[in-house]
Amino acid sequence: MVGGGLLLFTSLFFFGKTIPPKNKKTTTSQQQDSHSNEAPINFSDLLIKAKGRLTAEQSERIVGLEHSVVRGDIKDQQIHVYHQLAKFWRDSAKVFEPYAYYTAEAAKLENSEKSLTFAAQLFIDNLFDEGDHSMQTWLANNGKDLLEKALILNPNNDSSKIGLGACYMLGNISDQPMQGILPVREIADKNPDNLYAQWVLGLGGKKSGQFDKAIERFSIIVKKEPTNLGAILHLAECYDLKGDIDEAIKWYKMVQTIIPNPEAKKELQDRIDMLKNSKS
């Protein structure tokens, strides 16, 4: 349960899955070493997997759309077909990766700040919840590419800068995480009420094992938004990970008062009981 973050919350709340508590804390360097030999994810592989879930009728539909992209030699036609593909994967097939990919392809052709940032946020929102290392990198690289294009159009967009920082901090795409941290920290220092910046810095601190710094950021969010379930859960987990049992129990209990899912409440109680027993 510890270390699952918002991924744990979404698993419990939306899908009813459980994640057992970890008995050993893994350092950031150990995590990096364990993932160093992982093969990068290619969209073509994701697409093959997604197509395996389609019905015969859906498969026929997607082949026709894909051929339309190849035939379309006018940019507006290609944009239109990419949007159709995105809509199909979102609404009919309900598969995220192709939906985000084709939305991004359309945005690159449109090359407007609005379309680029919208597509980028699809990847980043999922990056916040993603637990698989290789998928984190795939999401972050796509988000980074889109936001870099958006920042060329508007270099002063703080949200784009924060999103780009999240890609560096959470996506394993650079061995120099300060490249992502510094711009986000600058925005947070200038405007502490920018909760998006505080959120990203909190997640970055938690990922790197700097739990006190993460707690500081999530606490700012909870002070402004006392019922922010994601921030409260991250607070609980950060205290849990640093070994502050009393504070961890306090915040897990706070999550229990907010979350409506009975199974999630039970999982939280199991963790609370485990922490209490560890003190005796």
- The 10 Å Cβ neighbour count of residue 277 is 8
pLDDT of residue 179: 79
pTM for the model stands at 0.83
- The 10 Å Cβ neighbour count of residue 241 is 17
Q: Give the pLDDT confidence of 48-88 residue by residue, as tens digits.
A: 999 999 999 999 999 999 888 766 568 889 999 999 999 99
C-alpha distance from residue 10 to each of 3, 15, 81, 226 (Å): 13, 7, 32, 19
Q: Which residue has the higher pLDDT, 275 or 176?
A: 275
Q: Give the pLDDT confidence of 150-198 residue by residue, as tens digits.
A: 999 999 999 999 999 999 999 999 887 777 899 999 999 999 999 999 9
Q: Which residue has the higher pLDDT, 226 or 33?
A: 226
With tokens 């920290």, the residue in question is: 185
Share of the chain above pLDDT 90, in %: 75
| pLDDT at residue 5 tops 90 | no
pLDDT of residue 273: 95
Residues 6+ apart with CB under 8 A from 163: 117, 120, 121, 124, 143, 147, 200
pLDDT of residue 28: 45
Evaluate whether 182 touches 161 at the Cβ level (below 8 Å): no
Distance (Å, whole) CA 128 – CA 122: 10
